[in-house]
């Protein structure tokens, strides 16, 4: 698929899917210059979702090693988001969801590299919990931002009919006293589970699955270990119903859904999102 951003910038997106293995190539051409990035994953591999963050970091480092500038990365991200927004209906009608999801990986690669250059630090990408439970396509926690004002409005709406837990109370206090206009998702999420505990959960999940047949069977039965800070995936108040640790609590899902009432940005909300009915507030 080819897409012209303007008179000089063109995107070429090629992808294939065979027996759960996804292969793709994304190429930007601007006059006589071009930048190509390939990406692949195999859903037949155990814990394939957990492996993508490190792969995104690797691809981001490869771009940085080519001395691609911050401004160029921002331009590529904006172009890719425009491509996604303008073509997602065609993609839905003609592509498997796994192929559509590739756009998110490429966006995360560009954002991760840009954040590294901007902040003068190593590339960082922490897998988003919404991706792990199938609520969205891939995103790094570090690339999603919430408007502080919008977040306050959503939480105030939520608190009308729901009791506030201590984590949300602490979050509200921060939102009411910060001078920042935005809060990054991992900073927001840390009010509910610290990044250290979250990464510990991911590590323990991987290690316990591989340690022995006994631990594997235990997890398959839905074991909820001591590291499950947010409780179990089957608990009331956890978004979805699945075995093992809860990754997304009710208030966090409420915030996500309210942010996506108009399905923007499509990279976060996903191409299958449907805008809320203005009369009912429902899809």
In order along its 283 residues, the chain shows pLDDT tens digits of: 666 666 677 888 888 999 999 999 999 988 778 899 999 999 998 889 999 999 999 999 999 999 999 999 998 898 888 888 887 777 777 778 888 899 999 999 999 999 999 999 999 999 999 898 888 899 999 999 999 999 999 999 999 888 899 999 999 999 999 999 999 999 999 999 999 988 888 887 777 554 334 433 443 444 676 667 778 877 777 887 777 778 888 888 888 888 788 877 777 776 667 776 544 343 3
What residues have CB less than 8 Å from 81, skipping those under 6 apart? 107, 265, 266, 267
pLDDT at 146: 92
Residues 129 and 7 reside in one and the same domain: yes
Residues 125 and 7 reside in one and the same domain: yes
With beta carbons less than 8 A apart as the criterion, state whether 167 and 151 touch. Answer: no
CA distance 85 to 75: 15
Q: Is residue 280 part of a domain?
A: no
Residues 46 and 164 reside in one and the same domain: no
Residues 6 and 62 reside in one and the same domain: yes
Residues 63 and 133 reside in one and the same domain: yes
Residues 7 and 135 reside in one and the same domain: yes
Residues 131 and 8 reside in one and the same domain: yes
Q: Is residue 95 part of a domain?
A: yes
With beta carbons less than 8 A apart as the criterion, state whether 77 and 105 touch. Answer: no
Q: Which of 102, 123, 143 is the last residue of a domain?
A: 143
Global pTM value: 0.83
Q: Which of 105, 127, 143 is the last residue of a domain?
A: 143
Count of structural domains, the chain: 2
Residues 28-35: contacts with CB under 8 Å, at least 24 apart: 28/76, 28/79, 35/63, 35/66, 35/68, 35/72, 35/76
Residues 16 and 119 reside in one and the same domain: yes
Q: Is residue 20 part of a domain?
A: yes
CA distance 52 to 245: 20
Residues 94 and 125 reside in one and the same domain: yes
pLDDT at 96: 85
Q: Is residue 238 part of a domain?
A: no
Domain holding 130, by residue range, is 2-143
pLDDT at 94: 72
pLDDT at 91: 76
Q: Is residue 47 part of a domain?
A: yes
Q: Is residue 168 part of a domain?
A: yes
Instruction: Return the closest-CA partner of residue 122 out of 132, 113, 131.
Output: 113
At 44, give phi and psi (nearest 5°): -80, -15
Maximum distance among all Cα pairs of the chain, rounded to whole angstroms: 60
> CA angle 181-183-184, nearest 5°?
140
Residues 21 and 87 reside in one and the same domain: yes
């Amino acid at each position: 698929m080819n897409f012209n951003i303007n008179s000089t910038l063109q995107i070429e997106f090629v992808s294939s899917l065979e027996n759960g293995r996804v292969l793709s190539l994304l190429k930007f051409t601007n006059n006589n210059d071009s930048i190509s990035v390939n990406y692949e994953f195999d859903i037949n591999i155990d814990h394939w979702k957990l492996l993508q963050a490190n792969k995104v970091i690797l691809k981001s480092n490869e771009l940085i090693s080519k001395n691609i500038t911050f401004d160029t990365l921002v331009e590529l991200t904006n172009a890719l988001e425009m491509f996604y927004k303008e073509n997602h209906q065609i993609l839905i009608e003609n592509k498997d969801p796994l192929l559509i999801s590739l756009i998110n990986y490429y966006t995360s690669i560009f954002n991760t590299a840009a954040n590294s250059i901007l902040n003068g630090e190593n590339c960082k990408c922490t897998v988003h919990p919404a991706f792990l439970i199938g609520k969205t396509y891939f995103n790094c926690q570090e690339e999603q931002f919430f408007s502080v004002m919008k977040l306050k409005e959503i939480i105030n709406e939520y608190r009308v009919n729901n009791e506030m837990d201590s984590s949300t109370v602490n979050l509200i206090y921060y939102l009411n006293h910060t001078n920042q206009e935005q809060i990054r998702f991992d900073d927001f999420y840390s009010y509910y589970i610290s990044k250290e505990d979250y990464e510990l959960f991911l590590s323990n999940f991987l290690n316990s699955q591989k340690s022995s047949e006994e631990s594997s069977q235990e997890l398959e039965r839905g074991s909820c270990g001591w590291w499950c800070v947010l409780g179990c995936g089957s608990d009331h108040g956890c978004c979805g119903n699945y075995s093992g640790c809860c990754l997304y609590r009710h208030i966090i899902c409420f915030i996500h859904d309210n942010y996506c009432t108009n399905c923007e940005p499509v990279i976060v909300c996903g191409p299958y999102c449907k805008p809320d009915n203005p009369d009912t507030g429902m899809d």
